Amino acid sequence: MWFILLCFVLGMIAAYFFPIEMPFVYSKYMAVVILAFADSFFGAFKSGLEGKFSGWQAITGFFGNAIVAAGLTYAGDLLGIDLYIAAVILFGIRIFNNITSIRHLLFIPPSSKYE
């Protein structure tokens, strides 16, 4: 679990010191990839707290989510509709569900859960 946090912090530091400028046309794709990362990160963190963490599952989940979300975005671009919004909504719901679970695991004592 600490490895995940360490990689996240190192990635944030690297992004700060080595900024990359993206063309505007890729902004939707980058947005869904960042949301796929956040979903995988919080899901892995939750799994680590539950004692069910699998690095392989976290990595394949990230790449699978990112590929599907980018595919939806690309298909939407071809059709002229904003299909990426479906990925944004889905990832948003999953991220908030994971954050809620993390909050319950960290801050609510096991004896007082679901009373």
Kindly give the confidence (pLDDT) of every residue in the chain, 115 residues in length, as a single tens digit, with 9 standing for 90 and above. Answer: 677 778 888 988 998 999 888 888 888 999 999 999 899 989 998 998 888 888 888 889 889 999 999 999 999 999 999 888 999 999 999 999 999 999 988 887 766 655 5
pTM for this predicted structure: 0.76
- The answer to whether residues 33 and 70 touch, using CB atoms and an 8 Å cutoff, is yes
Q: How many residues does the chain have?
A: 115
Q: Determine the Cα–Cα distance for residues 105 and 103; give it in Å rounded to an integer.
A: 5
- The answer to whether residues 54 and 47 touch, using CB atoms and an 8 Å cutoff, is yes
